[in-house]
Structure 1
Amino acid sequence: MHLPSDLIVSCQALEDEPLHSSFIMSKLALAAYQGGAKGIRANSKEDITAIKQEVSLPVIGIVKRNYPGSDVYITATRIEADELLASGCEVIAMDATLAKRPAESLEELVHYVRSAAPHVELMADIATVEEAVRAEQLGFDYIGTTLHGYTANTVGKKVYHDDFSFLKEVLSSVTAPVIAEGNIATPEMLKRVFELGVYAAVVGGAITRPRDITRTFANELQNARTNSR
């Protein structure tokens, strides 16, 4: 397996974020590596290429792109898959939900990548237990809880609710390696998901989004001042 059973850090910044830059993402990846991360998740061929010049860690690659008439935006079509194959990432993650897709079916996209690059592993970003089971049937190498809470039928839900009850359901429903991803905000939460039996865990915003981290501190201070009046 390309991914170690350990901490993977997501190094991403969208166009509306201050750190949007392949150079900056490469340095974030280096910082994550120096801090003990054993893998990186990154968005876009450009960012992955820059990261691979900086660290030798395995990379879960995605391409986020919106398509009209579809809610699928993580590695949605062959176009994004080809970009990732050219990036040299070891693992390609893709939306594996039941949402309407903009082009190929999920089965067709999996077959395309398997045929084009048998050495590249696949990670299914799912939102429900049903989707996790289907992803395993399609032969995904890893199943991630990435999209739980971000799809129309799971909006507002969190992976960590009720002591990770959703994660427990996924773990009991599939035998493929499960990757915990989504709102893992503290070292204690990271420890807990490994206790529950995940293969690996992806931590993103709690480590690599300083604007959001700062906002958390600032909001807490503002709330304290408001409540003291």
Structure 2
Amino acid sequence: MTVLDDLRGRLVVSCQADPGEPLDDPAHIVALARSALRGGAAGIRAQGLRDLRALRAALPDTPLIGLVKDGTSGVYITPTLTHVLAVAETGVDIVAVDGTRRQRPDGRTLADTVAALRERYDVLVMADVAALADAQAAVAAGVDLVGTTLAGYTGGAVPHDPDLDLVGALAARLPVPVVAEGRINTPEEAAEALRLGAHSVVVGTAITRPAVITSRFAAALVTSRELS
């Protein structure tokens, strides 16, 4: 069985915390991951070298998708070869990178980055894309799987709903597995992504961001009070 076989038709839970959040600690991230696995997740997606090392040590047999974030806009998901190599060094199974057609900060093409990575590490590469054309270019660059992670995040207002249309379009056209990711907030949306052809589904905020989840409930009660 390969990692992709392990993830086929299954849920991956994104366990991340922004700097300064109460959960921003490796022990907390590992606890989140263990809880997700107990609930039925097949794999974990996480960011930051510190947390990736902790997760790999604690969960050596769990499929792990790793990335680093450098900045908050533009190409910031594992944006350079230096970042890519550092993530691979932590022992993850899959390195997630920005797979859009935007210029990378180090001036390398995605194809150059993938090739340089494979000279040093036997690891899969996941391209986080925003559109079909991104995905097609990423596949041509040699990535192993494609995620809809950046759909809706590369310009303009961020939509509320997941881009399930893009999931279906990628699944119908690409020769590599497609991962549905981004704003998937309900089990029904996750199941629909699989029906549309997703290989697996990544859910983060709706499961592992308690402050965000709490704020939704609190806001609903505020609205209810105002209407009553």
TM-score, normalised with respect to structure 2:
0.92
CA contact under 8 A between 1:127 and 1:150: conserved in structure 2? yes
What is the Cα-based RMSD across aligned positions, in Å?
1.6
Equivalent in the alignment of 2:212: 212
Alpha-carbon distance in 2 for matches of 1:146, 1:159: 13
Equivalent in the alignment of 1:14: 18
CA contact under 8 A between 1:10 and 1:42: conserved in structure 2? yes
Q: CA deviation at 1:158?
A: 5.5
Instruction: Kindly provide the CA deviation profile for residues 173-222 of structure 1, in whole angstroms up to 9, marking residues without a partner as x.
Output: 21210000001111111111111111011000000000000001000111
Structure 2, gaps ≥5 residues long: none
Alpha-carbon distance in 1 for matches of 2:166, 2:225: 36
Alpha-carbon distance in 2 for matches of 1:31, 1:172: 33
User: Residue type matched to 2:42 in 1?
Assistant: K
CA contact under 8 A between 1:159 and 1:167: conserved in structure 2? no
Structure 1, gaps ≥5 residues long: none
Instruction: Kindly provide the CA deviation profile for residues 52-100 of structure 1, in whole angstroms up to 9, marking residues without a partner as x.
Output: 2222311000000129xx7100001122112212210000000011122
Equivalent in the alignment of 2:66: 61
Alpha-carbon distance in 2 for matches of 1:158, 1:197: 21
Percent identical residues:
38
Q: CA deviation at 1:49?
A: 1.2
User: What does 1:1-229 correspond to in 2, within 5 Å?
Assistant: 1-3=2-4, 4-5=7-8, 6-55=10-59, 56-66=61-71, 71-103=74-106, 104-117=108-121, 119-152=122-155, 155-157=157-159, 160=162, 164-228=164-228
CA contact under 8 A between 2:172 and 2:197: conserved in structure 1? no
Alpha-carbon distance in 1 for matches of 2:21, 2:185: 20
Q: CA deviation at 1:159?
A: 5.9
Aligned residues between the structures = 222
Find the residue that maps to 1:116 and give its secondary structure: coil
Structure 1 runs (4+) deviating above 6 angstroms are none
User: Residue type matched to 2:169 in 1?
Assistant: E
CA contact under 8 A between 1:62 and 1:94: conserved in structure 2? yes
CA contact under 8 A between 2:110 and 2:138: conserved in structure 1? no
Instruction: Kindly provide the CA deviation profile for residues 130-161 of structure 1, in whole angstroms up to 9, marking residues without a partner as x.
Output: 00111111121110000001102x64246635
Alpha-carbon distance in 2 for matches of 1:81, 1:172: 29
